[in-house]
Amino acid sequence: MPTLTATQAMQAPQPLDPLRFPLSGRSLIEASAGTGKTFTIAMLYVRLVLGHEPSAAQPKPLTPPEILVVTFTDAATKELRDRIRARLNEAAACFQVAPDAVKPLDAGKTDLLHALRSEYPPADWPACARRLQLAAEWMDDAAVSTIHGWCNRMLREHAFDSDSLFSQTLETDQGELMAEVVRDYWRTFMAPLDASDAAAVAEWIPGPRALQSQLRNLLALASQLPAAAAPEASLKASRDERAICLARIKAPWHAWPDGMTAVLDHARDQKHFRPANMRKADCDRWTNALREWANDPASEKPSLNSGWSKLTPGGLKEVCAEGAPVPAHPGFVALETLNAELDALPTARAAVLSHAAQWVAERFAAEQARRAQMGFDDLLTRLDAALHGPNGERLAEVIRQQFPVALIDEFQDTDPVQYRIFDAVYRAEAAAAWRALILIGDPKQAIYAFRGADIHTYLAARRSCDGRLHTLAKNFRSSDAMVDATNHCFDVAEARAGEGAFLFRRNGDNPVPFSAVSAQGRADTFVVNGAAPRALTAWWLPPADDGKPTTKTAYLDRIAAGCATEMVRLLNLGQRGDAGFASDNGLQPLRPADIAVLVNNRGEADAIRGALAARNVRSVYLSDRSSVFQSAQAAELQHWLAACADPDDGRLVRTALSTATLGLSWAELDARFGNEIAWEACVLQFRGYHECWRRQGVLPMLRRFLNDFGVPARLLGTHADGRQGVAGGERILTDLLHLAELLQQASAMIDGLHGQIRYLADQRAASDDSDAGSDAVQTRLESDGDLVKVVTIHKSKGLEYPLVFLPFACAHRPAKATDMPLKWHDEHDELRVSLDGESGVLDRVDHERLGEDLRKLYVALTRACHATWIGMAPLDELERTAIGYLVCGGQPLAAGELESRLQTVLGASANIAVVPAPDPGDERFAPRADEACHGAARQSARVVREPWWIASYSSLRTTGQSHREHTVPDTPGEDGFNEASDAERDVDDEQAAQALRDALMSHANASTLHDFPRGSEQGSFLHDLLEWAAAHGFARVADDRDALREVVARRCSVRGWARWIEPLTDWVRQIVSTPFVLTGGHGIEPTSIALSALSTSVGEMEFWFAAQHVDTAVLDRLVCAHTLDGAERPPLEPATLNGMLKGFMDLVFEHEGRYYVADYKSNWLGADDTGYTTEKIRAQMLRSRYELQYVLYLLALHRLLKARLPDYDYDEHVGGAIYLFLRGLNASTQGVYAERPPRELIERLDALFAGTAYIQHPEAEVQ
């Protein structure tokens, strides 16, 4: 091993003495895995409570609120608080012993509490005990917190000094706000691009959701990205540069195709090619493609297909006859690299993403400030900014006074922002007696770079401690043999010349060395057939049959099967009492819960769990990157909720009942679906769930749903008849209950049943391309029962297991140019970021990836208490893996040399066995209570459409109309949005565009009704305002302008429409106050109607009625003949309405004894009042087929009145339909169109929809 320099010796950590460790100044404790870090923190806490500092002139006891302890997860916070409380109670008990009752320790034993007590005179013991007891009781108020929780507390408690708002909202999920900002960026910069630029962008970023996904890892680094122009300019610059590079590549290819053709023709004439190879037609096609590509400046890649390989020197050699010369030409050689050169042509992707990241980050921060919101990461950045701002010194002093001492746990996982915070508060020059910053961590376990952790920041903090470095060097977790085996693996690499075990040795310095630890040893021993196996077993697979490296797929399959076979062997031995843990109390047989399998990702987990399941071994997968919304149960839950929200929709109810988790058999489903009485009972059952959901919430409803269908009993096997449960039943039930809890929490902020369904759908979609965003949505452990634990290495950190299998130790993912962003550190340990895989960068990035993989391997090898098994294979580039680096030193290894190298490097240890991987076997685990394993139901990939459906006016399309993907509206707002969208499509585009341009030129700053922006969002906005006015009361709205303005202002502010607050307030007030004059005609009685004067009105009245095989052609002929004087209009597309017709009427009101239907239209018909003449309104009615809408509305009103009024008469009680074109309010027509269709039409339609009329001769019927 290289000898230490003088500098290294000075900076080498000193063994920590818990009773002499300095409790002032800045210190660092490096605690290797299993060395009692939490025990040490608790002991230091006891000393701080007692004020135990031998070097201090005057002791200063501290209370729990004064001792800051920071860790990085809520679970670790709880554990640390409990461990400290227990240690305080234990210390208090120690000091409560009477002096004459103290017994001496046995020879050779030490006890820190006894030693601490001996440093105080017996007269002080009662006071010490009382102080410790009070501290233990005070631990609920102790300052033990996560970094985010502590920062949030500081910003709240010191809002004035930190320049924070006194009232801010901490948002746990800001995904929707981020999505909104990204959509703003897309509308601002991407939507205006021309077709060619848009096509180029679409190759990298298909849409806003893809952009948000790609920006996820860039936003935190936005300030470090290079400044970039807007996409349009970046794309132009890239296009120009790309053209220059392409021309340079093509330069020699103008002449080469002719030469290549001649060489190929000559070889063919000389019979140099094997028969049926390199036919002239094929060769000419390839060379012609190259010629056309070279001569076409716009063509970027030739179409060669198999020619890419056939025309290379290697491809030509394969098709040449034996002994024949291989055709030679510079073009053949250049073709080997041409494809890669063309793929490497410059693009604007990096510039576009840089610009997007910087713009989105800035806009997101502005939106947060405007809404007084914070995310979790903002807690840190805002406190950091405050500590380095104008009031930073004062704030730091206030925090130091509040927390004289801080212990920061898991500091190897810090990042630059976190370190800057603690460095500013506990800066070295402010150090004084009883002021301390104690950092605790292990750089060998720094494995969270993907979360922003930065080991180089840890090393900077290490240097700032000026040599006050301490280490914990004794392992209390593992057996002597296990510790020795792990030491050997890393000692070999540390002793080798080069960069050391963890790649940090350079220029004579190594801030992250591997130092062997000693072992405390264990009282129990793992034995198999009466003997202790080797602590570390290295399995090796032979190379492929052809001597080449093993493929990754073969490695995963073969090692998973072999690993599962060995685990089954050991477990069955445990069942017979031949394998287990021997101690003075006898043998504890080996159980599945004693085994952990460590993996890198879900793919590896699936491989080993599949192999275990095939051998009847149950397992559970634990990962901190899996979201419960990714589970199959989330999809089934969405079906259940849809059926409970719309229990009268038979299609939804049948889908819900058919889901796998309910477990209804084919016979049970047929009995429910085929029997009318049973089906009615199902519908009534789901109506009950609907009411329960509406009245009590989603969680009570789902619990009732699950219990009614016996889901828990079926999944867990607790049936009264003794039937066994479903394989994975605990997992399924855990996910369902977890999802129900999340929905219940979300329901507090989401209106309506369908809003909760959309929330679930959005979360499922978002989880498809991201990791679990928070602890709340991470999949939970479904059972603490007797299962093998399959755990990601990241999740296993900090945990221990009796036996550990690491089957996929050789698996790795090298850095790629497509990784975004590429991050590495320069020679000054400064972080560098790139969005391009330029030369040299990938090597640096992959070098840091290897360093982190080595630290992950260290974590994996230090989890076991007794034994570890690792699986190895001669993969390609094995030297680039962590285990390969330890064994090979970074040098390539031939496929056939793996076994010998393992024997040389690892086999040198008496505690390591190097053996062939077990052959896959068929032996199954035979537990005492065997459980049946059931297969999974096959999933249908085909979407089945039912002939029975729910229709609305929006779902009826006219011939030639662009396809509208409208679902049946669930809410009035959704219905209004659909209508507003259609209104925009129905405008004559050229005429409207020209009118709009003219209006904008002459009224750039106008705020009239005609200038209000067009669009479905704006139309829906106006519709919602009038819906609110109807619910609030038109008369109250007309009388109380301030209340109206407040509503308008609130809704405009979130949309950035501040300039429209006053015009819209006056506009809505005018709409509800203006008497609309109906002049008569078209069946309408002359009258004047003001909304504010109505005494009886209902807004957004919902209606449903059955449609019995209604032919839309018949419907269309009837409506056309009886409305708008029979004028020509676009015909409806042929269709059959069979099911239900559903809709929402904007307003139904009674006036002078007659009932009317009113509908609000935001259509833009012209730039001023002249666009709203009777003729133009009538034309719009025809073009949009609004007469079909109001006829359906009047049919619904007719049926309602017929059921409610004893003496109902259509001609006497129905006033008609009134359409209010809102932008034409000040026109001579007031934007009004009114009509009452004849009674004959309504009655014919009534019969048509009821299925009681059959029109054999429609022409005669409608004359």
More confident of the two residues 649 and 150: 150
Lowest mean pLDDT among 101-110, 248-257, 817-826, 963-972: 963-972
User: Of 373, 400, 434, which residue constitutes the final position of a domain?
Assistant: 373
pLDDT interval class at 991 (50, 70, 90): very low
Residue 11 lies in a domain: no
Mean pLDDT of 221-232: 91
The answer to whether residues 1246 and 1207 belong to one domain is yes
Are 150 and 260 part of one and the same domain? no
pLDDT given for residue 1255 in this prediction: 47
* HSE-up (13 A, CA, CB side) for residue 1221: 31
d(CA 249, CA 195) in angstroms, rounded, equals 26
CATH number (domain holding residue 1197): 3.90.320.10
In a domain, 607, yes or no: yes
Let me know: does 872 contact 540? Beta carbons within 8 Å.
yes
Q: Which amino acid is at 1053?
A: S
pLDDT for the residue 208: 92
The pTM for the full model equals: 0.69
Q: Quick check: is 639 in a domain?
A: yes
Percent of the chain with pLDDT over 90: 59
Domain identity same for 618 and 654: no
Tokens of 707: 């219990």
- pLDDT tens-digit readout, 394-420: 999 999 999 999 999 999 999 999 999
In a domain, 1022, yes or no: no
Residue of 197, 594, 1159, 1169 marked catalytic? 1159
586 and 564 in a common domain = yes
Is residue 1024 pLDDT above 80, yes or no?
yes
CB atoms within 10 A of CB 1206: 4
Which residues, in sequence order, are bridge partners of residue 67? 405
Query: What gap in Å lies between CA 11 and CA 470, rounded to an integer?
Result: 10
Are 611 and 651 members of one domain? no
Question: Would you state the structure tokens that stand for residue 1013, as one six-digit string?
Answer: 């922006």
Answer whether residue 728 is part of any domain. Answer: yes
pLDDT at residue 247 tops 70: yes
What pLDDT, on a 0 to 100 scale, did the predictor assign at position 761? 83
Residue 271 CA: distances (Å) to CA of 283, 318, 516: 15, 14, 69
1200 plus 1085 within the same structural domain: yes
pLDDT in tens, 1211-1235: 999 999 999 999 999 999 999 999 9
Q: What is the CATH number of the domain that holds 809?
A: 3.40.50.300
**pLDDT (average), residues 765-792:** 64
Query: Between 1258 and 789, whose confidence is greater?
Result: 789
pLDDT for residue 1055: 67
pLDDT band at 945 (very low <50, low <70, confident <90, very high): very low
Go through 1084-1121 and write b for each residue having 16 or more CB atoms within 10 A of its CB, e for each that does not.
beebebbbbebeebebbbebebebeebbbebbbbbbbb
Last residue of a domain, one of 373, 404, 423: 373
Give counts: helices (H), strands (E), the chain: 47, 31
Neighbours of 773 (CB within 10 A): 18
- Alpha carbon 455 to its chain centroid, in Å, reads 25
- Tell me the helix, strand and coil percentages in the chain, rounded to 5: 50, 15, 35
Q: Please count the CA atoms within 13 angstroms of the CA of 492 that sit on its side-chain side.
A: 21
Assess whether 692 and 587 both reside in one domain. no
Q: Note whether residue 565 is domain-resident.
A: yes
Nearest to 1068, CA basis, from 1037, 1039, 1094, 1095? 1037
1237 has a pLDDT exceeding 90 = yes
User: Whole-angstrom distance between the N-terminal and C-terminal Cα of the chain?
Assistant: 107
Residue 437 pLDDT level (bands cut at 50, 70, 90): very high
Q: What is the arithmetic mean of pLDDT over 1112-1119?
A: 91
Tens-place pLDDT, residues 862-871:
999 999 999 9
Looking at residue 6, what is its pLDDT?
A: 42
Confidence label for 1260 from pLDDT (cuts 50, 70 and 90): very low
Do residue 800 and residue 889 come from a single domain?
yes
pLDDT-derived band at 726, boundaries 50, 70, 90: low
Neighbours of 1041 (CB within 10 A): 13
CA 905 to chain centroid: 42
Residues in the chain: 1263
Residue 625 has pLDDT above 90, yes or no: no
pLDDT tens for each residue of 589-622:
999 999 999 999 989 999 999 999 999 998 888 8
Does residue 1064 form part of some domain? no
- What is residue 979's predicted lDDT score, i.e. its pLDDT? 59
DSSP 256-284: HHHHHHHHHHHHHHTT-BPTTSS-HHHHH
- Which of these three, 327, 357, 373, is where a domain ends? 373
| Structure letter (DSSP) for residue 226 | P
Domains in the chain, number? 5
Residue 998 confidence (pLDDT) = 43
> In degrees rounded to 5, what are phi and psi of residue 1169?
-65, -20
Measured distance CA(577)–CA(295) in Å, rounded: 79
Q: Are residues 609 and 663 in the same domain?
A: no
Say yes or no: 744 and 788 in one domain: no
Residue type at position 280 = K
pLDDT tens per residue, range 800-850:
999 999 999 999 999 888 888 889 898 888 888 888 877 688 889 999 999
| pLDDT given at position 1086 | 93
Range of the domain at 1185: 949-956+965-1006+1076-1262
CA distance readout (Å), 805 to 42, 554, 575, 855, 867: 32, 18, 20, 17, 8
Residue 960: pLDDT band by 50, 70, 90 thresholds? low
Q: How confident is the model at residue 940 (pLDDT cuts 50, 70, 90)?
A: low
Q: According to the model, what pLDDT value does residue 2 have?
A: 45
581 and 553 within one domain:
yes
The structure tokens listed for 968 are 């049946």
Q: Is 1159 a catalytic residue?
A: yes
Which CATH number is 244's domain given?
Answer: 1.10.3170.10
Same domain, 1145 and 1001: yes
3-state secondary structure 438-468: EEEECHHHCCCHHHCCCHHHHHHHHHHCCCC
The DSSP output letter for 1105 is E
| Per-residue pLDDT tens digits for 877-894 | 999 999 999 999 989 999
Query: What single-letter amino acid sits at 1102?
Result: E
Note whether residue 929 is domain-resident. Answer: no
